[in-house]
């Protein structure tokens, strides 16, 4: 594929820069038509190495739960499909109420092994047991803060219960609320600003409600459910827009869901049995819960509207309080995912804050070249291209876990682009001899579907906001133009630009891969404009760094300035604030 496709690449995004060429100091992109691999950034040679390792195995979310199948309650984990059962604790005292850390490297739980219930931590393999609390009258119901630095829990203080928070690193404890009375089951909102919990209704002590309070103790505590039934165990959806909970009325409990403001309280289950303890999967599409509908309590999952019920456990003992891991937090500050490496070496993916410059590695394997990252619309998963065999499309969670190959073959698959609903990924591939646009289901079902069929080079797809069309770059007319494909109705591709020139801007430096910020007021891009040289005065070839241009002010800021090359910025989506 010609190098120009790479530069245009970045397709409709590059056109943004044309419109902004007269605004402030943002320079455009200059590209020649010299041939190069599409895996290389503009001006950089492709990385060549032999595949010496295979792809990492697929991992699914693990569900933690408690079960008395060993004679008393212990903590177990299993895969989200019920396979891979493992027992984590083995003690004569009760161990119960597990809660995953956002990092998935620890599980908090309650144990009575000292004679009084206290909060403990344990690694998912059963190692690194650590006691966290020393409450004289007991501590239960651990709930992690989204950043993983604190745990909220319910402490018994004489005749009262208190919602308390412990800081993991220091062990410091401070109390948040002691009212309403009989507080229980805290749940931290995904943005970390609020805590939902159950408590007794002061006007009707035999009734329990779901309440909402600000984590910084400001403002008023709000009764969300305000219902004659008893409501327990709130659980936030990963996007922070809904809360699942347990409602008991008429001698049975069911799983309900409501908006985060308490509106639209809707039952998801309606069984004569007890359905309890909801927990959302990290993608927000399934809910785990415990139910005794088959005679004893087992773990089930269902779709987020109550459909597609699936039983995961089958044991004569009671399996209780299932907990999916929470999604990785979306930061308050702006972050970019970039591919970075010494020039000519394999690239890896790093997450960098544009405010602090701090970064963390999401992939770090010198054997593999990993490029063109793309965030899922909800910011919880990442698609990217990796040459772990040939170049294929891979998926992973936003914290780098859960790696799975979405495509697998002898061809080269590059430049993934998520559909707006997060269900499909478009990409470019040369699997049929020429570069064409394909689309594949994110869940891996079915085979990739070929959308274009041209002897020319088609690449760099991007979806329309309604998910019905895909724009892409193609040189089928002799030079690169931008085409539009009607995906919803199966129509052919139409040429949008029809210009004798490639749709790029003009600058002595290479400015490539522009990407809008979620707030639409900034554009990040990669550039080799710095003109870096070695200590001996020799130019460093094609060393790219990340820049951010603020549209309102015209200010241009260099975000990275290391001795390595940084490319393919992808702005992390931000969760909308309720």
Q: What is the mean pLDDT of residues 488-506?
A: 59
Pairing of strands 160-167, 242-249: unpaired
- CA pair distance 377, 379, nearest whole angstrom: 6
Supply the range of the domain harboring residue 497.
3-57+330-571
Whether residue 46 lies inside any domain: the answer is yes
Q: What is the pLDDT of residues 170-182, one digit of tens each?
A: 999 999 999 999 9
Same domain, 30 and 139: no
pLDDT of 33 strictly over 70: no
Same domain, 488 and 406: yes
Sheet holding 62-67, edge to edge: 86-87, 74-79, 62-67, 319-323
Q: What is the pLDDT of residues 212-241, one digit of tens each?
A: 999 999 999 999 999 999 999 999 998 889
Higher per-residue pLDDT: 229 or 508: 229
Q: What is the pLDDT of residues 304-327, one digit of tens each?
A: 999 999 999 999 999 999 999 987
Instruction: Out of 178, 194, 223, pick the residue that ends a domain.
Output: 178
Strands, E assignment, 329-399: 335-341, 348-353, 359-361, 370-375, 381-386, 392-397
Q: What is the pLDDT of residues 243-258, one digit of tens each?
A: 999 999 888 999 999 9
Same domain, 144 and 41: no
Instruction: Out of 143, 163, 178, pick the residue that ends a domain.
Output: 178
Whether residue 473 lies inside any domain: the answer is yes
Same domain, 396 and 451: yes
Same domain, 367 and 513: yes
Same domain, 41 and 114: no
Same domain, 555 and 464: yes
Whether residue 273 lies inside any domain: the answer is no
Same domain, 21 and 169: no
Residue 498 has a pLDDT of 58
Same domain, 19 and 112: no
Q: What is the mean pLDDT of residues 361-382?
A: 87
Stretch (H or E) spanning 64: strand 62-67
Same domain, 402 and 449: yes
pTM for this predicted structure: 0.60
Q: Across-strand partners of 232?
A: 246
CATH number of the structural domain spanning residue 465: 2.120.10.30
Q: How far is CA 24 from CA 30, 262, 298, 385, 548, in A?
A: 18, 46, 62, 34, 12
Whether residue 506 lies inside any domain: the answer is yes
Whether residue 477 lies inside any domain: the answer is yes
Same domain, 111 and 14: no
- Looking at 153-162, 444-453, 472-481, which range is the least confident one? 472-481
Instruction: Out of 178, 195, 212, pick the residue that ends a domain.
Output: 178
Instruction: Write the Ramachandran bin of 185: left for phi over 0, alpha for psi from -120 to 50, otherwise beta.
Output: left
Whether residue 380 lies inside any domain: the answer is yes
With residues binned 3-state (H G I as helix, E B as strand, rest as coil), the percentages for the chain, rounded to 5, are 5, 40, 55
Q: What is the mean pLDDT of residues 518-525?
A: 78
- CA pair distance 549, 556, nearest whole angstrom: 5
Whether residue 309 lies inside any domain: the answer is no
At residue 426 the predicted structure's pLDDT band, cuts being 50, 70 and 90, is very high
Instruction: Write the Ramachandran bin of 5: left for phi over 0, alpha for psi from -120 to 50, otherwise beta.
Output: alpha
- Looking at 7-21, 248-262, 275-289, 517-531, which range is the least confident one? 7-21
- As a whole number, the mean pLDDT across the chain is 82
Whether residue 299 lies inside any domain: the answer is no
Domain total for the chain?
2
Q: Which two tokens stand for residue 510?
A: 């290479």
Give yes or no for a contact between 481 and 3, defined as CB atoms under 8 angstroms apart: no
- CA pair distance 405, 385, nearest whole angstrom: 10
- CA pair distance 451, 487, nearest whole angstrom: 8
Angle subtended at Cα 559 by Cα 15 and Cα 572, rounded to the nearest 5 degrees: 65
Q: Which two tokens stand for residue 234?
A: 């709130």
Same domain, 351 and 492: yes
**CB neighbour list of residue 225: distance below 8 Å, 6 or more residues apart:** 209, 210, 231, 245, 247, 258, 262, 265
pLDDT of 59 strictly over 50: no
- Looking at 414-428, 490-504, 560-574, which range is the least confident one? 490-504
Sheet holding 436-441, edge to edge: 413-418, 424-429, 436-441, 449-450
- CA pair distance 435, 461, nearest whole angstrom: 12
- CA pair distance 65, 75, nearest whole angstrom: 6
Residue 469 has a pLDDT of 87
**CB neighbour list of residue 265: distance below 8 Å, 6 or more residues apart:** 225, 227, 256, 257, 258
Higher per-residue pLDDT: 223 or 60: 223
Q: Which two tokens stand for residue 470?
A: 């895909």
Stretch (H or E) spanning 4: helix 3-9
């Amino acid at each position: 594929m010609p190098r120009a496709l790479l530069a245009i690449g970045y397709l409709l995004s590059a056109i943004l820069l044309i419109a902004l060429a007269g605004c402030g100091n943002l320079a455009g992109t200059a590209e020649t038509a010299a041939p190069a691999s599409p895996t290389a950034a503009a001006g950089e040679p492709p990385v060549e190495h032999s595949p010496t390792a295979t792809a990492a195995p697929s991992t699914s979310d693990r569900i933690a739960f408690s079960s008395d199948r060993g004679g008393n309650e212990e903590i177990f984990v299993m895969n989200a499909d019920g396979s891979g059962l493992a027992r984590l604790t083995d003690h004569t005292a009760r161990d119960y109420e597990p809660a995953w850390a956002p990092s998935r490297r620890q599980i908090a739980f309650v144990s009575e092994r000292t004679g009084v219930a206290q909060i403990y931590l344990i690694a998912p393999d059963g190692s690194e047991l650590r006691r966290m609390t020393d409450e004289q009258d007991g501590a239960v119901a651990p709930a992690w803060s989204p950043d993983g630095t604190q745990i909220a829990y319910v402490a018994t203080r004489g005749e009262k219960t208190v919602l308390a928070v412990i800081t993991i690193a220091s062990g410091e404890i401070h109390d948040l609320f002691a009212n309403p009375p009989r507080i229980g089951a805290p749940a931290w909102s995904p943005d970390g600003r609020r805590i939902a919990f159950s408590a007794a209704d002061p006007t009707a002590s035999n009734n329990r409600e779901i309440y909402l309070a600000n984590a910084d103790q400001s403002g008023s505590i709000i009764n969300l459910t305000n219902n004659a039934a008893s409501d327990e165990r709130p659980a936030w959806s990963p996007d922070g827009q809904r809360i699942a909970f347990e409602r008991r009325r008429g001698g049975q409990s069911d799983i309900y869901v409501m908006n985060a403001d308490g509106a639209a309280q809707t039952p998801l289950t309606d069984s004569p049995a007890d359905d309890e303890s909801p927990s959302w999967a990290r993608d927000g599409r399934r809910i785990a819960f415990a139910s005794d509908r088959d005679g004893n309590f087992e773990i089930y999952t269902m779709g987020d509207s109550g459909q597609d019920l699936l039983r995961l456990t089958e044991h004569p003992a009671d399996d209780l309080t299932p907990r999916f891991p929470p999604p990785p937090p979306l930061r308050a500050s702006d972050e970019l995912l970039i591919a970075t490496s010494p020039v000519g070496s394999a690239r890896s993916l790093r997450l960098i804050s544009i405010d602090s410059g701090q970064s963390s590695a999401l992939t770090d394997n010198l054997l593999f070249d990993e490029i063109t990252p793309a965030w899922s619309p909800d910011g919880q998963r990442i698609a990217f291209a990796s040459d772990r065999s040939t170049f294929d499309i891979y998926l992973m969670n936003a914290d780098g876990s859960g790696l799975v190959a979405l495509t697998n073959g002898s061809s080269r698959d590059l430049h993934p682009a998520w559909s707006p609903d997060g269900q499909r990924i478009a990409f470019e591939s040369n699997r049929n001899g020429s570069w064409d646009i394909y689309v594949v289901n994110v869940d891996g079902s079915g085979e990739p579907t070929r959308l274009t069929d041209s002897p020319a080079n088609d690449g760099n797809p991007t979806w329309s906001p309604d998910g019905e069309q895909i724009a892409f770059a193609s040189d089928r007319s002799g030079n690169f133009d931008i085409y539009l494909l009607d995906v919803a109705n199966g129509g052919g591709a139409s040429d949008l630009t029809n210009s004798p020139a490639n749709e790029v801007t003009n600058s002595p430096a290479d400015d490539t891969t522009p990407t809008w910020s979620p707030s639409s007021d900034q554009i990040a891009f990669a550039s080799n404009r710095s003109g870096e040289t070695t200590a001996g005065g020799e130019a460093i070839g094609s060393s790219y760094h990340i820049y951010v241009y603020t549209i309102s002010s015209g200010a241009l800021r260099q975000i990275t300035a290391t001795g390595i090359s940084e490319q393919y910025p992808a702005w992390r989506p931000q969760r909308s604030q309720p």
